[in-house]
Amino acid sequence: MNNARRIAIKRVHILFSLAKEVIHKDPQLAQHYVEAARKIAMATRLKLPEEYRHHICRHCKSFILPGVNCRVRIQPRRQSHVVITCFNCGKYSRIPLKSRKKQ
């Protein structure tokens, strides 16, 4: 089973890199690559790496790339966080930034 997970991780990396390359030319094909990567991860019960999880909208499950079809802003209010706004569905997700521990 460990070998299957290694192969799945490699395929997910390949599919996400292909999606990043092709999103400017054909956004539908990039979406297809990401859907295939998610299905591979779900079939092998594999968690997507964090860098790839942030490239998928939590609400509409579409592939988002900063500057292409989403907006990324840093908010210093309350606890500092990053706000990612999806242009496909209009919703946003917040990612908290790690604060420095006081010594």
Q: Given pLDDT bands bounded at 50, 70 and 90, which one contains residue 11? A: very high
pLDDT at position 98: 80
Residue ranges covered by each domain of the chain: 2-96
Q: How much is the pTM? A: 0.84
Residues 63-74 have pLDDT tens digits of 999 989 999 999
Q: Which of 13, 59, 57, 54 is nearest to 36 (CA)?
A: 13
Higher pLDDT, 31 or 78: 31
| CB-CB neighbours of 15 under 10 Å | 22
The CATH code of the domain at 2-96 is: 1.20.5.420
